[in-house]
Chains A and B, each alone.
Chain A
Amino acid sequence: MTALNLLKNRAGASWLFLVAATIVSWAVGAEHGTGSLVAVVVLGIAAVKVRLVGLDFMELRHAPFALRAAFEAYCVGMWALLAALYLWL
């Protein structure tokens, strides 16, 4: 079994998505004014990336409901909190 065979799964696909999402967030987020909604999008992309790291790299996709739910709540909660602080403070 080769390394490639061992990566032909959800984790391998997630890595490709994570790399693409990093480039996209760089492209849209590098230059924007203060108070811009772009920052909220960039934080959203970060939260989605973190969720994928948890589900497919940390293997939480197959974890008991409480553990997975706590992790997903962290992702959504951080995004909502950081976006709100950015926009309204």
Chain B
Amino acid sequence: MSHAGMSPIFGEAKEVEPGRYQAHLTFEMAGDWVILLHAILPGGQKLERQIDVRGVRPN
């Protein structure tokens, strides 16, 4: 559940060990967030996954 027009945040995941990727993102606002993960597999195939992060609370 997110509102149209709010600023998106971008992050690039780095491979920290074979097959394991890590990215640092800062949620700048409380609420429900949606992470859209875009990956290109070794064969060139594109992968898109959606991860819901609900109920992010303010600091």
Is A bound to B? no
